[in-house]
Chain A
Amino acid sequence: MSDILINRRTLLAASAAGAASAVSAAGLIVPAQAAGLAPTPTMRGGSNNYRPGAAIVKRIGGGGFLMTGTVRRAGDGAPLEGQRIQMWAHTTEGHEREPQSHGATLTDKNGNFQMDMPQIVPTFGQAHGHLAYDSGDFETVFLRPLMKSSRDKTLHVDFVLVPA
């Protein structure tokens, strides 16, 4: 019995890994720039119970739950300021379909947004929120992120948009 330690396949794998580590060690590749930051695809069911034109509000209802997120441009990843993000969810204060469950906010100069809103509770089997970018300058994106636990007090969402 003989142990073959090096065959064609392991040799190729090893040399490829070696080459890759040499390149990254030299700082030649910054992952986000190399691949180009990929746009966020719309999620299944993301647009369910959407009400276009939700008002920009400081807070939805009584608050207590914090929705946070970022909005960046596809490719270079530049933060996008002043982008309107709409959000809605089934909360302790109402169903997804009801107007009081909807609100919108604008991103700051770093592309960040946040919204104080009522606690999200599980509906249709999952604790989830809905968010939309639907303002026209970039392609429309509808998201339906899940909470890791329905007891979470916060949910973070990242948008990467492509110019329309």
Chain B
Amino acid sequence: MKQQSKQRVILFWGGLAVVLGIPIFAAMTSPLLQWRQPAYIVAGFAGVLALCLLLIQPLAIGRYLPNIDPLRSRAIHRLIGVLLVVMIVTHVGGLWMTSPPDVIDALLFRSPTPFSVWGVIAMWCVFATALLAVLRNRFRIKHKTWQRLHTGLALVIIAGTVAHALLIEGTMETWSKAALAILAIIATLKVMMDLRVWSWRK
């Protein structure tokens, strides 16, 4: 692995800190928080952090994190996968405590809000991805098959999450939310191309 220059490393981590830090800071200073109860606030931030994780996730598996070796990059990717599941469970659980009928409507795909359907689809795809990752070795899924299934699910997750996040009027500030979402999409598409997921060449 080629060592990157100190400036590039600082630039990368500094840039990532800004791209993730601004939307988190903006959400923390949202006026809506003063009218929300703790469970709802925690649920909201679990969603914000999950969106942040969706930017780091492709960067880790694509080995774009500077001066982090491939094995550790993969360990980070796995850890973030677990964290994503935890964030989603916290998000849905906190919303359930806040307003059970609204969450039941969302889970049954009968909510009046157009964004909840995207969130629920993305949620099931994250759970399916986690299950697939756990069962991958037991069922000896071929690498290419695994890669395509995983990438297919990842595409639905990123598209669903971005649609979910952008259509919501919540604690996140519009422009920093949009920037984070667009960067997460770009990172996902880039890693797909770099890993040649859809190529038939061995």
Most buried by B among A43, A122, A127: A122
Q: How far is the CB of B2 from chain A (nearest CB, A)?
A: 45
Asked whether A127 and B99 contact (CB < 8 A) given A44-B110, A45-B105, the answer is no
Cα A49 to Cα B100 with chains together (Å) = 8
Asked whether A125 and B113 contact (CB < 8 A) given A44-B105, A48-B105, the answer is yes
How many chain B residues touch A (CB < 8 A): the figure is 20
CB < 8 Å: which of B101, B112, B167 contacts A49? Answer: B101
Chain A residues with CB under 8 Å of B173's CB are none
Q: How far is the CB of B52 from chain A (nearest CB, A)?
A: 19
Task: Please give me the residue from chain B that is nearest to A119 by CB atom.
Answer: B35
Chain B residues with CB under 8 Å of A59's CB are none
Chain B residues with CB under 8 Å of A96's CB are 99
Cα A45 to Cα B101 with chains together (Å) = 8
B32 contacts partner chain A, Cβ-Cβ < 8 Å: yes
The proximity string for B residues 98-133 relative to A, scoring 1 for CB distances below 8 Å and 0 otherwise, is: 110110010000111101100000000000000000
The proximity string for A residues 122-153 relative to B, scoring 1 for CB distances below 8 Å and 0 otherwise, is: 11111100000000000000001000001000
CB < 8 Å: which of A124, A144, A150 contacts B99? Answer: A124
Number of CB contacts from chain A to chain B under 8 A: 50
Most buried by B among A48, A90, A124: A124
Cα A124 to Cα B114 with chains together (Å) = 11
The proximity string for B residues 159-173 relative to A, scoring 1 for CB distances below 8 Å and 0 otherwise, is: 000000001111000
B37 contacts partner chain A, Cβ-Cβ < 8 Å: yes
A97 contacts partner chain B, Cβ-Cβ < 8 Å: yes
Chain B residues with CB under 8 Å of A95's CB are 37, 40, 98-99
Cα A31 to Cα B122 with chains together (Å) = 45
Most buried by B among A47, A90, A127: A90
Are B35 and A90 in contact, with the CB atoms below 8 A?
A: yes
Q: How far is the CB of A35 from chain B (nearest CB, A)?
A: 26
A67 contacts partner chain B, Cβ-Cβ < 8 Å: no
A40 contacts partner chain B, Cβ-Cβ < 8 Å: no
Task: Please give me the residue from chain A that is nearest to B168 by CB atom.
Answer: A125
Are A44 and B169 in contact, with the CB atoms below 8 A?
A: no
Q: How far is the CB of B42 from chain A (nearest CB, A)?
A: 15
B95 contacts partner chain A, Cβ-Cβ < 8 Å: yes
B-side residues, CB < 8 A to A, are 32, 35, 37, 40, 95, 98-99, 101-102, 105, 110-113, 115-116, 167-170
